[in-house]
């Protein structure tokens, strides 16, 4: 398998005792009323876009590849067939945000919430991806793309990061002097 799916309590995006990063038990049953998370296995990852700036590009990619719309309006792009293992990597566009990453690559120690899951907003007046959400809002994760997962064709992880940086005009964290 390219990704390991596991159950998350209904209405939540927070994993419970059944999640153990890369040691999460494979093939756990997921009840009809539960959400689920997914973790990339070795040489796979998910690119997590946390700013609306990238939605148009991701919506175009969704015509050919699997792209998930997250509960707050961002996008997740699953990736398979890297040449080397992925690790959590934060990427920045300092013209958009100076305080937080806008793209985060999730390797096999971090999960994303899966399409078809629902989330009940826990914060009041929470602003993300150009929208304000209210406590109690019911939000959805959905696949807005195809069933074809983006294939990195053996590109090593460092070269893949460079590809993402060039395509989306982002960079690693600035070094402080």
- Can you give the pLDDT at residue 177? 47
Note down pLDDT in tens along the chain; length 177 residues.
699 999 999 999 999 999 998 899 998 999 999 999 999 999 999 999 999 999 999 999 999 999 999 999 999 999 999 999 999 999 999 999 888 999 999 999 999 999 999 999 999 999 888 889 999 999 999 999 999 999 999 999 999 999 999 999 999 987 554
CA distance 120 to 124: 11
Q: In this predicted structure, what is the pLDDT of residue 99?
A: 86
DSSP H or E stretch at residue 5: strand 3-8
Give the residue from 130, 21, 22 showing the smallest Cα distance to 75. Answer: 130
Q: Cα 6 to the chain's mean position, in Å?
A: 15
In this predicted structure, what is the pLDDT of residue 175?
Answer: 56
Q: What is the predicted pLDDT for the residue at 129?
A: 84
Contact assessment for residue 68 and residue 151, using Cβ atoms and an 8 Å cutoff: no
pTM over 0.85: yes
Give per-residue burial for 97-108: e unless 16+ CB within 10 Å, then b: eeeebbbbbbbb
Q: What's the 3-state SS for 126-139? A: EEECCEEECCCCEE
């Amino acid at each position: 398998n390219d990704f390991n799916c596991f159950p998350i309590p209904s209405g939540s995006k927070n994993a419970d005792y059944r999640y153990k990063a890369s040691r999460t038990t494979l093939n756990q049953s997921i009840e009809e009323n539960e959400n689920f998370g997914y973790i990339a296995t070795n040489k796979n990852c998910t690119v997590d876009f946390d700013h609306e700036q990238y939605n148009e590009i991701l919506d175009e990619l969704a015509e050919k590849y699997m792209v998930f719309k997250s509960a707050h309006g961002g996008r997740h792009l699953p990736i398979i067939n890297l040449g080397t293992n992925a690790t959590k990597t934060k990427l920045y566009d300092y013209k958009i945000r100076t305080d937080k990453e806008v793209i985060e690559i999730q390797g096999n120690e971090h999960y994303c919430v899966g399409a078809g899951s629902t989330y009940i907003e826990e914060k009041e007046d929470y602003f993300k991806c150009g929208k304000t959400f209210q406590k109690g809002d019911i939000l959805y994760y959905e696949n807005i793309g195809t069933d074809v997962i983006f294939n990195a064709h053996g590109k090593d992880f460092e070269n893949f990061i460079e590809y993402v940086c060039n395509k989306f005009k982002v960079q690693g964290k600035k070094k402080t002097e």
